[in-house]
Structure formats: C-alpha cells, structure tokens
Chains A and B, each alone.
Chain A
Amino acid sequence: MERIPILRMGNFLLVTIQVDMHDRLALQLQDDLTQSIAEWGSTGVLIDISSLEIVDSFIGRMLANIAAMARVLDAETVVVGMQPAVAITLVELGMSLSGVRTALNVESGMELLYELRGNFRPESADEISQA
C-alpha cells in the first residue's frame, strides 16, 4: 500500500507530505517514522508540510504525536512550511501544537535542527538515502 517516503540525511530524517492523507496513511507515517528513528538512531526529524492545504485536528494530532514519540527516542522534530491560511485555521480550531517546533521552510528548519542537535552536514549526495 502507498506510503509516504522518508529520506535520510546523515543523522536526520526528512519527510515531505504532498498528498491529501487519509487516516490510515497518516497512522502509517507515524509508525514508519518511529521505526526509522529507532532503527537509524536519528536525532532529528524534519517534516515539510508546505504542500498541505488542509491540516485538521487529526493531522494536527498526528504531528504532535510524532514530535512526542520522537522526543522519547531522543530526537527533535521540526515541522516546516505551514501555509498561512492553514495556520490561521488551526488556531481558530483551537490547536496550538505547542509541543512541536516549527520553522518557515526546509532551510530554516535544518538550521534549527543543527542548532539543536549540531551534526555533520552531509558532504555528498551519497549521504542522502531512503530510510
């Protein structure tokens, strides 16, 4: 069944969500990520949601859960690229996602992860592989 791909960049994991997820797919992502963090000993997770035009309470909870589970496995999570309309809606909905770190885009998100978990930068494309 379809899965959202997880890329590995050195000690960090990168996930780009581009599809309108149905519930099973979201739960599958939660599972896959926690598996990958444990397997690779990753210390950081970057979730790019810049393509998501809708984040409802289910997806919001998924993001919060991922951040919490990652923390238990000693990894930091940064969610990047939330669209303004989505942010305004989430806030109106009553979700603050206070346990989730955020950044404007992938670049800022990576900077933040390096700040938090200072790591080697991948020198070559070989370092980037499918987790």
Chain B
Amino acid sequence: MSKLPEIIRRNEEQIRAAWVSQVSSAVRRSDLMSDREFQGQSRELLTSIVEGCESGDIVHLDSAAWGHARELLNSISASRATQGFKTSETATFVLSLKQPLFHAIRKELASSPDALFDELWNATLLVDKLALITSDSFLASREQFILRQQQEMLELSTPVVKLWEGILALPIIGTLDSARTQVIMESLLGAIVQTNSRVAIIDITGVPTVDTLVAQHLLKTITAARLMGAECIISGVRPQIAQTIVHLGIDLGQIITKAKLADAFALALQKSGRTVVKSGNSSPALSAKSEPAKER
C-alpha cells in the first residue's frame, strides 16, 4: 500500500504553497488569469487529488474516487484553452506539482531509501498521468472548436438560389464529401419547402472530380429531394466528367444531366409548363409567359 496518500494529507498546505509559488511566471500567465483564480484552482485541484489518493488506488485514475479530480482537470483544461493558454502551459502547471511532492516525500521517508524510491516513483507516475489528462482534454476541446468552425464554413458555402417560381439552383463548389452532403441536403430541402419548388438544378461545374463516392452523394441528395416531390436536373457536366461516369460504370438512372446551366434552366421551365417568348416591344426583353399545367 502506497504511503503517498498520507504523506500528501499530512503536508497538504505546504505542498500547495510550494506548488503555487514555484510555478514560473512564464507558465503562470498572470496576463490571462487573476491571482485569486489561480490560487482557487490550485487549492481545489490539490484537494481533489487528496480525495483520489484516499481511495488507496493511485494507479487507476478512471475509478470513481478520482472522478472529481478528472472533472476538475478537464474543466481547467477547457477553460484555459478558451482563455488562450498553450497546452504545454497547462500541462506544466500540473507537472510542477512534482517538486513539492518530492520534498514532502523526502522529508517523511529520509530514513528509508527503499520506501523513498518507491514513493517517488509512485508520485511521478501519478503526476504524469494527471498532466496527460489535461493534454487529452485540451486537444479534445480544440478539435470540437475546429469541427464547429468547419460546420459553419460548410453552411456558408452551399447557397441555394431561386431561379424562377418553383425552380431552384444549387451550385456546388469544391469536393462533395459526406459531411458536406448532409449540409447540402438540409439547405436544399429547406429551400424546397420554403419556395414550394418542383425542380432543382444541381450545378456541378465547380466540382473537380466525380468518382463513385461523389456520385453516391449526388444520388442521395437527388433521392431526398424527390421524396419531397422535387425533381432534380444535374448541370455543368463537363465532357471529362461524362467520360469518367461511363468508365466507372456509374448509373444515373432516370436523372437528366446537362452540360450547360442554361440548357438545364430551359428544361426546368419546360417541365413546369412555361415557355419563353419574345415580347413585341422594340427592346428585345424576355418575358416568360406562364401556362398552367394542361388538364387531360
């Protein structure tokens, strides 16, 4: 049984004071955190470490007794991440607990070198593990932040345009992966509902390559739109894309594809029962006459 728990308990205040004072100013970052906050954080953390040690198990830090300490380490890490601390600064903060701990251990076990060695080893293992918890936690919250930003960028990059009454255009720029497809589907379907559209033109001029995966994503999007009563036309199919599609054996089924957006638009107008006629005026302005769908 490790003597570490009782050593820490007996010397708690000295350890804490030594820990706090010896955190170098570089790591302390008083520009980012007030003195009171810092004192509070260290006191709470040391108390939770004592709590964990009381369980007697200083090896398995995922047990319930260490729950409080883990929680604290995670929240310290997360809040420091948003405050602008570097991950090494937070880890160093925890690691600098070693020296005061070692002092306390040497004080208590000076006369028994073997026990001294054992407890030093236990202490170093413990503090290393605690520091690693903060690193993992820090990285996790940064990743979450980056994911959120990516999400925002995705949403901004898929505009849906209303070309005419009941006709939408969705220009896709860049590659189409599964995350992007989800966002595109949501935007498109939302727009279909809002504008009561029956035709959506998906323009893929800005999509560099169309392989089987991209085709699958396109098909998913088109199927989702169809479930809501809207038909899709793919436009912007470059000759090379047409070749790739054939080479890969991709089956687009009933989906109509056009090379030019203009042709797709003309087709869309036709499908919604409209024709474009030249008006009799001297200015060759285009006017689109609307004809209701013919009844049989």
Listed in ascending order, the chain A residues whose CB lies under 8 Å from chain B are: 80, 82, 84, 86-88, 90-92, 96-97, 102-105, 108-109, 111, 114-115, 118
Assuming the contacts A104-B192, A104-B193, A111-B293, asked whether A88 and B226 have C-beta atoms less than 8 A apart, the reply is no
Instruction: Determine the distance from Cα of A112 to Cα of B180 in the docked complex, in whole angstroms.
Output: 32
- Given contact pairs A82-B229, A84-B228, A88-B182, enumerate 13 new A-B contacts (beta carbons under 8 Å): A82-B227, A84-B190, A84-B192, A84-B193, A87-B224, A87-B227, A91-B220, A91-B227, A96-B227, A102-B229, A104-B193, A111-B293, A118-B296
Q: Which of B224, B225, B296 has the most CB of A within 10 A?
A: B224
A118–B225 CA distance with the chains assembled, in angstroms: 25
Contact in complex: B189, A115 (CB < 8 Å): no
Residues of the B chain whose Cβ atoms lie less than 8 Å from the Cβ of A109: 229
Main secondary structure of the interface of B (DSSP, over half): helix
Closest to A107 in B: B196
User: Which residues on A sit within 8 Å (CB–CB) of B230?
Assistant: 104
Q: A84-B189, A118-B295 are in contact. Are A104 and B229 (CB under 8 A)?
A: yes
Going nearest first, the 4 A-B pairs with the smallest beta carbon separation are A84-B189, A103-B229, A118-B296, A87-B227
B42 within 8 A of A: no
Chain B contacts of A118 at CB under 8 A?
295-296
Counting CB contacts under 8 A, is B244 at the interface?
A: no
* Interface residue count on the B side (C-beta < 8 Å): 21
CB distance from B89 to the nearest CB of A (A): 43
- Asked whether B11 is an interface residue with its Cβ less than 8 Å from the other chain, the reply is no
State whether B223 touches A108 (Cβ < 8 A): no
**Would you call B295 and A91 a contact (CB within 8 A)?**
no
Query: Is B28 at the interface (CB under 8 A from chain A)?
Result: no
User: In the complex, how many angstroms separate the beta carbon of B74 from the nearest chain A beta carbon?
Assistant: 32
With A91-B223, A108-B198 already in contact, the answer to whether A84 and B229 are too (CB < 8 A) is no
A81 to chain B, nearest CB (A): 9
Residues of A with C-beta under 8 A to B192: 84, 104
A104 CA / B196 CA spacing, docked (Å): 7
From A87, A97, A103, A109, residue with most partner B Cβ within 10 Å: A87
CB atoms of A104 and B186 under 8 A apart: no
Q: Report A103 CB to chain B, min CB distance, Å.
A: 4
Q: For A103, list chain B residues within 8 Å (CB).
A: 229
Q: Which B166-203 residues have C-beta < 8 A from chain A?
A: 182, 185-186, 189-190, 192-193, 196, 198
Closest residue of chain A to B294 (Cβ to Cβ) is A115
Within B194-238, which residues are at the interface with A (CB < 8 Å)? 196, 198, 220, 223-230
Kindly report which residue of chain B lies nearest to residue A108, judged by CB atoms: B229
Residue in B225, B227, B296 whose beta carbon sits within 8 Å of that of A115 in the complex: B296
Please tell me if the beta carbons of A90 and B228 are within 8 angstroms of each other in the complex.
no
Least Cβ–Cβ distance between A77 and chain B, in angstroms: 13
Q: Which residue of chain A lies nearest to B230 when distances are taken between CB atoms in the complex? A: A104
* CB<8 Å pairs between A and B, sample of 19: A82-B228, A84-B185, A84-B190, A84-B228, A87-B185, A87-B225, A87-B227, A88-B186, A90-B224, A91-B224, A92-B220, A102-B228, A103-B229, A104-B192, A105-B196, A115-B293, A115-B296, A118-B295, A118-B296
